[in-house]
Amino acid sequence: MYKLLTILTLSIVILLVYTYYSNFKESFMQKKDSLFLDITKNWKENFEKKYYNGKSIDNFNDKYNANKLVESLNIKVPEIYFMGKYNTIDRQLLYNTNYVIKPKSGHSSKNVFLVKNSIDQFTNKQVNIETFEKQFGKWNEEIIVEEILTNFDGKTVLDDYKCYVFNGEVKFILHKCFENGIYIRNWYNRNWEPVIPLKIVDKQGNFTEKPPYFKEMIHDVEKIGNAVFADCFVRIDFYITNEGPVFGEITPNPANGYGYTDYGLKILDQLCIEYGLA
């Protein structure tokens, strides 16, 4: 009888945990009604109607095009060693000791390798040609191979500063910092003052002091924003090395619209109205 009660109790607990997780997951994954989400969801239609130097700005969602755009604005970018189909790369390039290899499209550091002395800095595991053949060669993916950078404090995985930009002005910064094999996240305003997270945070870390070259980074972000994205929303990502800020990428639809809190959407919707984007 006791054994039966124990099994029944465990079954109920498991069911409750599963129900809670399922409801949480459904709430997390479901996109809600929001001006901000409508704008970011329809970014391509909007960006195709706007031009910079004769090109519609939807072209700059592409990592290679964005790199060249920002370079033309005299802002520091990582040097690109190769861009194209994986099977067309000179394999000798991959025998170099230090570089980044990543898909030409994608997000969230997925399938990105930071190679230093044949060790991937994300996983701390050895990688080689066979690794990349399996990852990129099977489908002959378009890839980018570029220089590897070092964080201003010497860390091998760069801190990522994801700047939420409205009409060329930075309003929020999501700071991602890689520690002990995972990213921790904190939110700040443009003055590096902590704010309530706008998205569900996987792991929130301790708030940090304002990084060096912060003012220069904000200047560079807003230079891009005002030159190219003066009447729309876009997220512009940067890194900070010991030589100053370095451009990362441009994202018009962060995380494909998932993961925002109700509070976050309320704030972002208000900004869309304030900046005349709604």
pLDDT digits 0-9 by tens, 76-116: 999 999 999 999 999 999 998 899 999 998 766 678 999 99
- Average pLDDT on 263-269 reads 98
- Average pLDDT on 241-259 reads 96
Q: What's the pLDDT score for residue 206?
A: 86
For 192-227, what is each residue's pLDDT tens digit? 999 999 999 878 888 899 999 999 999 999 999 999
Please tell me the pTM assigned to this model. 0.87
User: Which pLDDT band, with edges at 50, 70 and 90, does 28 fall under?
Assistant: very low
3-state secondary structure the chain: CHHHHHHHHHHHHHHHHHHHHHHHHHHHHCCCCCHHHHHHHCHHHHHCCCEECCEEHHHHHCHHHHHHHHHHCCCCCCCEEEEEEHHHCCHHHHHCCEEEEEECCCCCCCCCEEEECCEECCCCEECCHHHHHHHHHCCCCEEEEECCCCECCCCCCCCEEEEEEECCEEEEEEEEEEECCEEEEEEEECCCCECCCCECCCCECCCCCCCCCHHHHHHHHHHHHHHHCCCCEEEEEEEEECCEEEEEEEECCHHHHCCECHHHHHHHHHHHHHCCCC
Q: What's the pLDDT score for residue 1?
A: 52
Range from 13-17, 24-28, 61-65, 235-239 carrying the lowest mean pLDDT:
13-17
User: Which pLDDT band, with edges at 50, 70 and 90, does 9 fall under?
Assistant: very low
Q: What's the pLDDT score for residue 269?
A: 98
Q: What's the pLDDT score for residue 21?
A: 40
The correct answer on CATH 1.10.3470 for the domain covering 35-62+153-274 is: no
Range from 163-172, 179-188, 237-246, 261-270 carrying the lowest mean pLDDT:
179-188
